[in-house]
């Protein structure tokens, strides 16, 4: 009988003497924020949970990865986790990411399971979760799919005792939406796992009938009919543009940017949006905004112009033919592969300066001069979407 308790309770101690990666390691790799103390683990002889898995996925592959990750140094595990967090991964790799997260905290691994149980009483849509057991008997679970009473998808990350009762843990007072849509977890020293989960979550949900269709999936960015309609009537919002709101968002984007890109443009833009009061991290999931790829923000925004304006205070505008036509604080989104950006995730950035010329800069996880050729070419311009702050 396999029993599992709960995944994702790992954080980095302030010192490296204990064999754990220091905050400097995460700082150097663009994972910034405060340091938490490592949560207490269960006693070595802790009884096991009664939870069982009747249908384990990727069993052989996960067992192979378990042996491989066991042999990694904590530095190598941390590096690999960071690479996954920056590039994204298929749902089948989330179990490997869980192993890497544990190993990067110098924890000894015992076993792991990626469970996809069929529908049962009380769980009409089945149950998908990942469990990692440590050598000292401690166990963790990450719930990937569970249907809530209101029919919406939920994600649970919590610490349970042997009976399955939820215990006070490192996420006390933090809502699941905040963990997986950014929130404070993203800025913890082990935030690479949080960012990986952001990119992964929609793919993990796709098998479920109640998931949002096509969110977070790769492939062509062919416009939907609704998006084409919105193209034809893209708001001419020059007279509605809120300069003070744009300046505030631009300032936050500039302050948060790092010297070079870490492949985390979407995460840093979302941080700037929260600091500027545009949108809290906890509201992304509530609004149904995909968080797997930067390009998906424009797909959501183009399909939900009313929500874009009422919840964020932004409107889509016609994409100009040069950087000089962009407003300060405008959010610029490039579709997958557009203008040389990532073919898997696209790119997103915020215009940070106010002068109306072609030397303007935009920032995300780093700052760069906007590229005129991305806008002057009509074919490429169709794959670039622009949103500006409006209203009072």
Range 91-97 average pLDDT: 67
Cα 245 from Cα 172, distance rounded (Å): 33
Fold annotation for 225-389: endopeptidase fold (from Nostoc punctiforme) (3.90.1720)
The pair of three-digit structure tokens given for residue 63, joined into one six-digit string: 């067992």
Of residues 203, 185, 208, 205, the one with CA closest to residue 195 = 185
Cα 167 from Cα 179, distance rounded (Å): 17
Domain with CATH 3.90.1720.10 in the chain: 225-389
**What mean pLDDT, rounded, does the chain reach?**
66
Range 251-260 average pLDDT: 89
Find the farthest-apart pair of alpha carbons in the chain and give their distance in angstroms, rounded. Answer: 68
Cα 389 from Cα 314, distance rounded (Å): 4
Residue 49: its H or E element? none
Is 312:304 a contact under the CB 8 Å cutoff? Answer: no
Cα 57 from Cα 199, distance rounded (Å): 20
Kindly report which listed range (74-83, 107-116, 198-207) carries the lowest average pLDDT score.
198-207
Task: List all residues 6 or more positions away from 239 whose beta carbon is below 8 Å from its beta carbon.
Answer: none
Q: Is 356 helix (H, G, I), strand (E, B) or coil?
A: coil
Distance of CA 242 to the CA centre of its chain: 28
Task: List all residues 6 or more positions away from 163 whose beta carbon is below 8 Å from its beta carbon.
Answer: 49
Task: List all residues 6 or more positions away from 214 whose beta carbon is below 8 Å from its beta carbon.
Answer: none
Quick: pLDDT tens for 339-377.
888 888 889 999 999 887 878 899 998 899 998 888 998
Instruction: Report the share of the chain in percent with pLDDT over 70.
Output: 54
């Amino acid at each position: 009988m396999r029993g599992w308790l709960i995944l994702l309770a790992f954080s980095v101690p302030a010192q490296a003497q204990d064999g754990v990666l220091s905050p400097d390691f995460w700082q150097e790799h663009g994972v910034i924020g405060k340091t938490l103390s490592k949560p207490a683990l269960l006693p070595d002889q802790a009884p096991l949970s009664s939870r069982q898995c009747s249908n384990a996925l990727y069993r052989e592959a996960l067992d192979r990865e378990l042996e491989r990750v066991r042999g990694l140094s904590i530095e190598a595990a941390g590096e690999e986790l960071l690479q996954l967090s920056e590039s994204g991964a298929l749902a089948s790799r989330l179990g490997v990411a869980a192993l890497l997260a544990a190993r990067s905290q110098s924890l000894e691994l015992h076993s792991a399971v990626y469970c996809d149980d069929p529908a049962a009483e009380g769980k009409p849509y089945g149950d998908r979760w990942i469990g990692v057991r440590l050598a000292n008997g401690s166990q963790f679970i990450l719930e990937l799919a569970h249907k809530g009473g209101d029919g919406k998808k939920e994600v649970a990350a919590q610490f349970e005792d042997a009976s399955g009762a939820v215990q006070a843990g490192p996420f006390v007072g933090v809502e699941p939406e905040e963990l997986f849509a950014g929130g404070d977890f993203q800025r913890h020293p082990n935030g690479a796992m949080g960012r990986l989960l952001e990119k992964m979550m929609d793919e993990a949900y796709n098998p479920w009938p109640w998931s949002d269709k096509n969110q977070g999936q790769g492939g062509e960015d062919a416009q939907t009919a609704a998006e084409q309609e919105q193209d034809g009537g893209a708001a001419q919002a020059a007279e509605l543009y809120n300069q003070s709101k744009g300046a505030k968002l631009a300032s936050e984007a500039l302050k948060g940017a790092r010297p070079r890109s870490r492949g985390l443009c979407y995460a840093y833009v979302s941080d700037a949006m929260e600091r500027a009061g545009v949108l809290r991290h906890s509201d992304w999931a509530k609004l149904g905004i995909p968080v797997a790829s930067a390009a998906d923000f424009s797909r959501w925004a183009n399909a939900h112009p009313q929500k874009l304006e009422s919840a964020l205070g932004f409107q889509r505008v016609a994409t100009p033919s040069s950087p000089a036509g962009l407003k300060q604080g405008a959010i610029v989104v490039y579709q997958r592969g557009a203008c040389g950006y990532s073919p898997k995730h696209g790119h997103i950035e915020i215009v940070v300066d106010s002068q109306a010329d072609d030397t303007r800069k935009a920032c995300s996880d780093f700052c760069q001069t906007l590229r005129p050729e991305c806008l002057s070419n009509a074919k490429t311009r169709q794959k670039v979407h622009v949103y500006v702050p409006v209203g009072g």
